[in-house]
Amino acid sequence: MEIIIIILVSFLYSTAAFIFWVSKGGFNKRFLYTDNIFLGITIGAFSILLYKLTGTGLALLLLIFSPVIGFCLFVMLFLYRFFRNPSRKITAGPDEFVSPADGRIIYIKELDKGQTPVSVKKHRLASIEEITKTSIPEQPCYLIGIAMTLFDVHMNRAPIGGEVILVKHTLGDYLGLNKPESTIVNERNTIVIKRDDGIMVAVVQIAARYVRRCIISVNAGEKVDQGAIIGRIRWGSQADLIIPRNCEIKVREGEQVYAGETIIAKLL
């Protein structure tokens, strides 16, 4: 009977942690049926082992040791999830754009010719004025936002193959922090890639508030293949993709996408 109680309580702790992060941290619900099950089983196994080997009282085990074990295992699971860099098979065709990041599509906005893109991150706005140095604003575009949670792979990949023509770092500038609707320019990196046929895309790495961990691993003038790693963002955040509007969007808001694998759009 004690073993059953330990297993049930272990799953209770694990499920409570994941429900919290699904509701507050934007985790994908699929983690409730994958990582949550693994974590619950592992917490239960360690708790049963501790109970059998040390003779710890059941109440002390369930109220103190099991939560501590669960917290430590959750942190270890997070570190594994966050820092992993799985290989990706790039299968996109020449007229297709792949996702630059793992995460969830939070918006797909249409931009008119000459309109400066504005990224939105939790009601904070960032005007991406640096792309006016390229010819991207000379045509209608799509601005696609991808929110990355702590459990997503944080490596960013090139949506197309081509030459990196712009690498721009913008320092964070926080204004009106007491008003969530205020315009706030977050730290960001902007990478523009141009194909030989003139097609251009921009990837914008947007840091989390107060977190400055946007890293670019390419330089202007370099050639990159489609799906190649171009940078990474630490501790969660957002990656935006700017592509020409003469294409068919293959994703929808709320959909989970994967860097280098998910087809975001296809040229018409």
Is residue 237 flagged as an active site residue? Answer: yes
Closest of 130, 142, 147 to residue 192, by C-alpha: 130
Give the max Cα distance, the chain. Answer: 72
Could you give the CA distance from residue 113 to residue 134 in angstroms, rounded to a whole number? 13
> Do the beta carbons of residue 91 and residue 249 sit within 8 Å?
no
Catalytic residue among 10, 99, 119, 237: 237
| Residues comprising the chain, all counted | 268
Could you give the CA distance from residue 252 to residue 109 in angstroms, rounded to a whole number? 11
DSSP string, 144-204: EEEEE-TTS--EEE-SS-EEEEEEEEE--B---TT-TTS--B--EEEEEEE-TTS-EEEEE
User: Which are the catalytic amino acids?
Assistant: 237
